[in-house]
Structure 1
Amino acid sequence: MGTLNSEEKNKHVKTIPIMTALLISGFMGMFSETALNMALNDLIKEFGISVSLAQWLTTGYLLVLGILIPVSGLLIKRFPTRTLFITSLSFSIVGLLIAAMSPSFSVLLIGRIVQAIGTALLLPLLFHTVLILFPPWKRGTAMGLVGLVMMFAPATGPAAAGIIIDYFNWHMIFWIIIPFLVFALLFGIAFLPNLSTTSKQRIDVLSIVLSTFGFGGIVFGFSYAGGSEGWSSPVVLTSLAIGLLAMAVYVFRQLTIREPVLNLEVFKHPMFSLGIIVTLFANIIIFSANILLPLYMLAGLGLPASKAGLLLLPGGIVNGIMSMVSGRIFDKSGPRGLVIGGFAISTIAVAFFSTVSSSTNLYLIVFFFMLLMVSMSMVTTPSQTNGINQLSPRLYPDGTAIVNSMIQTSGAIGTAIAISILNISQTNHLSHVANPSGAQNQADALIAGVQNAFTFTIIISIIGLFCSLFIKRILVNR
């Protein structure tokens, strides 16, 4: 597949309107991923469902992303940019309309799945479009904007949703997103051309089936492991076994067929492979913190949901700002100093969180969460951009598909491991107290679990710091 040259042939392309349409769309897709979490309690009461069933509104969304994103590389090769953008926005808007008007839980879940299809198509397309529009020495800044979307939107979701629910109801979470996506769709129709040439690559159905069971099984297995049954659940063990087996066969097939769905040749490039590894560690830290800190503040400290969301909001804001700053620094100086410094800072931040207690000052929590989010923005954007810069244009669709698949998979892994450590630690703590059902003992047990889970992230951060020592800047001709 050929791509238009980003300097000469794309001079006629209006970059700012195109990026505006894509960034708004991506922001709303990621915002929706976490915003509904604040409404789960209301949904449980309104529809008379269990917590585990309600959680499918989030798990199902992530599962669709995990299944479809790996196939996105093939779709980008076969279909025009403009067609994929319109299709993705159409799925998102239709899904939002179904969810906003849903009279039952089953209809709401269908709406979420349809919406997730749109997001799964959009996110790799956003990355791919940046690679086409911007030359390698300008990509850091552009990818910083993408980083703002990927991190800032999920961080603002719960806080904004809490306010929306307080003044309106959970239906409004969906209604309020629709006008933004309609605007982005119209903007994209007006300004987005077909930026890459397509090829009629043969679709290997067996590869797609294997990818679905592989990525889907792993994401579902890790997501389900974070539930009450934990890693011993037959569902978890079966799902992970099927996922890993299907993934192994999938990888073998991609290496042996003439036209692979996902070209694994990308892993022959050492900086791309290292960037993926570093991204995996960073996202495990990010998703672990994003699940542990709200639990600590709500159940450990007894704070109301709206206050907990607002206290964590500054971390999301500085992460978005720092993503853009990191992108500019990357363009000038490369990734090495940023990534090494990021993991060094994150190690300090998670070490603090491993010592939190019921009397920890709230301002210290806000400060160190901001510090953690700054450190992760120093890692993710530079390492991903540097790795993709090592790829040739024909491998861009495969590279972006793998990066986005890794983000979703590592999110499921980080969340599952953090919750598992939390649950095991809670059970162990309560087994040594006289009154396990007491409110204070329950809170103390949760805090002990949070401490131990953050101790795990210290190890991950140190491993990431070691890996970052081997990062080298990919030099490009200007």
Structure 2
Amino acid sequence: MTTTSYETESWETSRVRANPNHSDRSAVSISQVDSPAKLEPEKATGRTPAVVRLLVLATFVVILNETILINAIPRLMSALSITEQTAQWLSTAFMLTMAAVIPITGWFLQRVTTRTAYATAMGLFLAGTALAAVSPTFEVLLGARIVQASGTAVMMPLLMTTLMQVVPERDRGRVMGNVTLAISVAPAMGPAVSGLILQVGSWRMLFVVVLPIAALIAWGGLRKLKNVSETKASTIDWFSVVTAAAGFGGLVYGLSRFEGNNLGLAVGITAAGLITIAIFVLRQMSLQKRDIPLLDLRTLRFRTYTVSLILMSVAFMAMLGSMILLPLYLQNLRGLDELQSGLLVMPGGLAMGLLGPTVGRMFDKFGGRVLVIPGAIGISLSLAGFTQISMTMPFWQLLGLHALLMISLAALFTPVFTLGLGAVPPHLYSHGSSILSTLQQVAAAFGTALVVTVMSARSDALEATGVTATIAQLDGMRLAFIIGAVLSIAVVITALLLPARADNAGEFGGHGH
């Protein structure tokens, strides 16, 4: 057996065990690599396939852009004569678009070639970035962010799906570690990079700087990128598109409204989103009988994938909660500016990214449990440490706790992504990665809403009793970190349910695929 056919052949072998009547012809029909000769040398030498390296570069740029506006809100308020609540829509709209578009990518990635998907993602991102750089009004800038987000929503599922298609199982940990490096370092660098750019230029420079870099990566990718998957002709169910966009978009928007004062409106929008998602799920279950779902929920039949999904969601909530609370604490209570706070949390993000390849190699050698369980415990310990924040806690201690959190997340995410997607058959990779990415957006929104709501409620209650605003806010942050620490216990418990490696033959055969 050649290294090129390793993944497809091992999957086919498991299907033959489960179904003795399985024919060679059906094995060929689901082959995911249509250019094996081009990929064989890279697999044989253990190198990361060129297609994955190109997609990692592109993903790094689009994720960097996602966090680059964090420090620009005050500047935008002044330049565009808008309120803080209005300015926050630049982030909210980005998040809503991601939540609405990602569920559709499972169908889209099966319908088009790798090159077409890449060109679509980068084309939308470049168009949105160019429009943002010259936006004369807030409304135009908001539209530009929505266009950017549409491209970003395609890129992450495309990267994960392609990785699973072209990298054999024995090398996935190492390659996923390199992916973790890119997607971890990018958001960590975003606030610091934007802080530096804003020191020397206007908010438009945030887009002007990104534009030529993204254009160069897009050009290089289109020159060298090869198609690695077969396309599958299928019609799109527009009712599913509408309910997916309304349901997931509504849920994320409803959760984001918990930061405001109108609790009833937030609950109503969230409930409407959940009801619409339920309708979407029922529709997909009906379409699955004809094998034409927009988002194939049969991925959830695989236990390891479902456990990974739960684990990733709760861990993502913990990470996003800390990303929201720490800047508020450092800037509002400790008096640091945007650049200083960005630089203080950057080492943790860099450590998470730089450890990615090492974690990947350890996963390939030892399996997932030896990484996931210590990682889950590390998350709990770091969040427990953050519950002790005070007005005098040394900055080195804050840096250490944040670094522990990020390193623990690195030990968790690479195995969880690899085990989860490795547990589903190749023809469901695009749907599996879409569900993972969708849940990331929902978890991010839920984590943000949870910590902000808890912090605000506690702070307001204390201020009503005569406690000073500073002490009340500090106590509110402590309580929010306590909630995060309690949630992290669920991460530890769920981590115990993960296997060391995805048992493809057992899981696939058990479901008769």
TM-score range, shorter chain: over 0.9
Give me the whole-angstrom Cα distance separating, in 1, the residues matched to 2:117 and 2:457. Answer: 44
User: 1:448: how far off?
Assistant: 0.6
Cα RMSD, aligned residues only = 1.7
Cα distance in 2 for partners of 1:383, 1:122 equals: 20
Distance 1:19 1:34 in 2: 23
Find the counterpart in structure 2 of residue 474 from structure 1: 502
1:397-449 Cα distance to aligned partner (Å, 9 max, x none): 1111011111111111111101001101111121222xx6xxxx222111111
Q: Is the 8 A contact 2:34 2:228 kept in 1?
A: no
Deviation readout 1:219-255 (Å, 9 max, x if unpaired):
1111222x2226x141x12221221111111111111
Give the aligned partner of residue 283 of structure 2. Answer: 253
Identical counterparts, % of pairs: 32
SS in 2 for 1:110: helix
Q: Matched residues in 1 for 2:441 and 2:324: separation?
A: 15
Correspondence for 2:171? 138
Q: What are the superposed Cα offsets for residues 436-478 of structure 1, whole Å, 9 maximum, x if unpaired?
A: 6xxxx2221111111000000111111110111111121569x
Counterpart mapping for 1:146-165 below 5 A: 146-165=179-198
1:6 offset after TM fit, Å?
9.0
- In structure 1, how many angstroms separate the alpha carbons of the residues matched to 2:214 and 2:406? 27
CA distance in 1, matches of 2:34, 2:397: 48
- Contact kept? 1:6, 1:135, Cα under 8 Å: no
Alignment partner, residue 399 of structure 1:
432
1:193 paired with 2:220, answer no
1:465 and 2:503 matched: no
CA contact (8 A) 1:6 1:134 kept: no
Matched, 1:228 2:228: no
The alpha-carbon distance between structure 1 residues 16 and 182, as it changes in their structure 2 partners (threshold 3 A), is farther
Q: Compare CA radii of gyration and give the structure with the larger one.
A: 2
- Structure 2 spans left out of the alignment, 5+ residues: 1-29, 506-513
Matched, 1:446 2:476: no
- Alignment-derived partner of residue 39 in structure 2: 10
TM-score normalised by the chain length of structure 2: 0.88
Q: Which amino acid aligns with 1:139?
A: R
Residue 265 of structure 1, CA deviation: 0.8
Q: Is the 8 A contact 2:195 2:339 kept in 1?
A: yes
The aligned residue for residue 346 of structure 2 is: 313
1:107-138 CA-partner distances (Å, limit 9, x unpaired): 11111111111101111101111111201111
State the partner residue of 1:19: 52
CA contact (8 A) 2:34 2:227 kept: no
1:72 match: 105
- Whichever residue aligns with residue 4 of structure 1, its letter is V
Give the C-alpha shift of residue 52 in structure 1.
0.9
Question: What is the CA-CA distance between 1:202 and the residue it aligns to?
Answer: 1.8
Asked whether the 8 Å contact 2:35–2:227 carries over to 1, the reply is no
SS in structure 2 opposite 1:193?
coil
Determine the C-alpha separation between the residues in 1 that align with 2:35 and 2:346: 36
Are 2:78 and 1:45 aligned? Answer: yes
Match of 1:240 among 252, 265, 270: 270
Distance apart, 1:389 and its partner CA: 0.7
Identify which of 129, 151, 167 aligns with 2:162: 129
**Alignment match, 1:427:** 460
The answer to whether structure 1 residue 167 and structure 2 residue 200 are counterparts is: yes
The answer as to whether partners of 1:17 and 1:187 remain within 8 angstroms in 2 is: no
The offset of 1:349, in angstroms, is 0.6
TM-score between both structures, scaled by the size of structure 1: 0.95
* Letter paired with 1:228: G
Aligned equivalents of 2:199 and 2:136: distance in 1?
Answer: 20
Unaligned runs of 5+ in 1: none
Partner of 2:217: 184
Partner SS, residue 260 of structure 2 = coil
Paired position in structure 1 for 2:409 = 376
Check whether the contact 1:22–1:184 (CA below 8 A) recurs between aligned residues.
no
Q: Aligned partners of 2:325 and 2:476: how far apart in 1?
A: 9
1:132-168 CA-to-partner distances (Å, cap 9, x unmatched) read 1201111111112222222221111011100100111
Q: Could you tell me which amino acid in structure 1 is paired with residue 479 of structure 2?
A: N
Counterpart-to-counterpart distance in 2, 1:53 and 1:145: 37
Counterpart CA distance in 1 for 2:285 and 2:317 is: 28
Whole-Å Cα distance in 1 between the matches of residues 353 and 446 of structure 2?
A: 23
Distance 2:494 2:37 in 1: 37
Query: How far apart in 2 are the matches of 1:252 and 1:9?
Result: 42
The counterpart of 1:356, out of the listed 359, 366, 389, is 389
Separation in structure 1 between the aligned mates of residue 428 and residue 328 of structure 2, nearest angstrom? 41
- Aligned residue for 1:456? 483
- CA-to-partner distance for each residue in 1:326-369, whole Å, 9 max, x for gaps? 21111111111211101111111101100110010110000110
SS in 1 for 2:68: helix
Conserved? CA contact 2:458–2:472, under 8 Å: yes
Cα 1:331/1:48, change in 2 over 3 Å: same
Taking the aligned partners of 1:353 and 1:6, their CA distance within structure 2 comes to 50
3-state secondary structure, aligned to 2:320: helix
For the residues of structure 2 that align with 1:188 and 1:147, how far apart are their CA atoms?
Answer: 20
The whole-number CA distance in structure 1 between the counterparts of 2:496 and 2:50 is 38
| AA at the equivalent of 1:395 | L
Could you tell me whether the CA contact under 8 Å between 1:137 and 1:476 is conserved in 2? no
Residues 384/320 of structure 1: CA separation in 2 closer, same or farther (3 Å cut): same
Work out the CA distance in 2 between the residues paired with 1:85 and 1:339.
32
